[in-house]
Amino acid sequence: MHVPLLQQEPAFHKEDMQNISEQDASISVSTDGRHSYKTKEGIEIISYVDTWPESRLREVAEELYRNRHGIEIEYLSRVEIYPGKEQSGNERVSASYDMELHEINIPVDLSGFLPADYRIKVPLEKGVIRIYRGEEKTEIEDLAIVLSHEYGHHFTFFHFDENFTSDKYKESTYYKVRRLYQYPEVNGEASYDERIHRWSIFEIAAEDYHQLLGSPTGKKTTRYLDISQKMGSPTYQRINTASREDYNAIPQENWNIPLASQVEGLYEYFISFLNEEPDATVMNMLSDPEDTDMPVLSYRVEEEFNFKRYIIEWNEAAAEDSEKPVYTLVAFDNENRLIPIKTVFPGEKTFAVVGTVTQIIDSYIYYYQDGLDRGSLDFRLYIQYPDGWVTASEDLTVNFN
């Protein structure tokens, strides 16, 4: 949709990210509290919060470049960090992406015909990423996931074909490769209504970028405890909760479609826009979509003192010791709400407990309940590898009645 005017190689490559130096960029602060940092490629990092003063904006630039990129990065104008909510006051908006029209001057050397300083003015669209509630995001890890997602918008709008629009999206190559024709809920709208937003093709594409090419910094692993691990605590949260920052529990906003890693041809489609070969390790993982080493969920029931506990178990994925994954068991209720159950790290036993567990202390029976053993739940296992690559098991339905 956005074709570069000059088909040159990117001036800044992924491997150059660590070479950002003070000589390559400029730092400034204005009288109105506006802090700014400009990379040598001209991308501005602007902050309006004291949490991110000019001395820390280089961190943001480095994190931006950790997202795998090609020539499209030269068409990103700036990243802005704001205090408080998005301008319209929408609580759900943590960041946004827009395109602005810029004008560049291209020198033309036709001695004898045109003045020596003659330039042609050419309009050019450039992207802008805006991050809100900057005062709450005190560490680079707090910014990483939204920065990666919004850069995913920049990447996909730049590279995907001319049909990647609100009215022609069903004709786009991405729609076909992602097999979104299987889901009638998919739309071409830009809305913050949750039911529309999670099915927007533009949001799904940005989430795919985050999974396949996004920075590892934005793929945080949160440890969740099941009810048996909470036993003995005088105060405990019965049901775990997750947010978008908990990548191992919510690797993508829409959990009703396959993960990006499990759509045949999708990784190759994304990597085709970069001047690099597909990762051999990733290609090996993608080579067999019917991989028999994929963990399979099963369950059994145990009863003690008339209390039932459900043991959800799985086999380990085949991997070298250095590549062993982290497992996160989640559940979905009949209202399609996601509930994190347990995180299992390498070396730990691969099971989780749901229901009621008991403990005997001084002839007294103490019991701890999560209240999840009612009706039915669909369980799914997310398998996250050290590099952030994530896959999912087939769902297991448990009817507690």
Helix (H, G, I), strand (E, B) or coil at 342: strand
CA nearest neighbour of 178 among 202, 205, 200: 205
CA dihedral of 30, 32, 35, 41, whole degrees rounded to 10: -60
Delimit the domains of the chain by residue range: 14-216, 220-246+289-399
User: Can you give the pLDDT at residue 278?
Assistant: 78
CATH topology classification for 220-246+289-399: Immunoglobulin-like (2.60.40)
Q: Residue 399: helix, strand or coil by DSSP?
A: strand
What does the alpha-carbon distance between residue 214 and residue 212 come to, in Å, rounded to a whole number?
6
Question: What is residue 27's predicted lDDT score, i.e. its pLDDT?
Answer: 57
Both tokens assigned to 252:
């993508």
| Three-state SS at 61 | helix
Buried b / exposed e along 258-291 (16+ C-beta atoms within 10 A): bbbbebeebbebbbebbeeeeeeebeebbeeeee
Relative to beta strand 376-384, strand 390-392 is antiparallel
In tens, the pLDDT along 185-213 reads 999 998 888 888 999 999 999 999 999 99
Q: What are phi and psi of 308, to 5 degrees?
A: -105, 140
Task: Count other C-beta atoms under 10 Å from residue 306's C-beta.
Answer: 8
Closest CA relative to residue 218, chosen from 156, 149, 154 = 149
Quickly state the pLDDT bin for 8 (edges 50, 70, 90): very low
Which one has a higher pLDDT value, 12 or 151? 151
pLDDT level of residue 2 (50, 70, 90 thresholds) = very low
